[in-house]
Homo-oligomer: A and B are copies of this chain.
Amino acid sequence: MKETTLKQIAETLGISITTVSKALKNYSDVSPKTKQAVLDLAHSLQYTPNSFAVNLRTKESKTIGLIIPEVVHHFFSSVINGIIAEAEQHGYLVIILQSNESLELEKKQVALLLNKRVDGIIISLSNESNHDAHLKEILQREIPFVQFDKISKLIPSSKVLINDQKAAFEAVEHLILKGCKKIAHIRGPVNPQNAIDRFIGYKKALEQYNIPFDSRLVYTCKNVTFEEGKMFAKEMVSQHPDVDGVFVITDLVAVGVLAYFNEVQIQVPQQIKVIGFSNWFMSQVITPKLSTVDQPSYEMGVTAFNLLLQEIQSKKDSQSFEPQVIELNTKIIERESTL
Contact = CB atoms under 8 A, between A and B. Distances in A.
A115 B52 contact: no
Interface string A58-91: 0100010000001110101110110011001000
A281 B226 contact: yes
Contacts of A97: 93-96
A49 B112 CA distance: 11
A281 B114 CA distance: 37
Interface residues of A, number: 52
Given A77-B77, A259-B285, A84 B98 contact: yes
Contacts of A105: 88, 93
A100 interface: yes
Contacts of A81: 70, 72, 98, 100
Interface string A25-59: 00000000000000000000010111110000001
Contacts of A282: 255, 282
Contacts of A96: 95-98
Contacts of A286: 285-287
A1 B108 contact: no
Given A59-B1, A77-B71, A98-B94, A115 B287 contact: no
Chain B CB within 10 A, most for which of A76, A77, A94, A137: A77
8 contacts: A2-B141, A2-B142, A50-B50, A72-B74, A72-B77, A255-B282, A282-B282, A287-B287
Given A1-B117, A72-B78, 9 more contacts: A1-B141, A46-B140, A49-B115, A70-B81, A71-B80, A72-B81, A93-B112, A262-B287, A282-B282
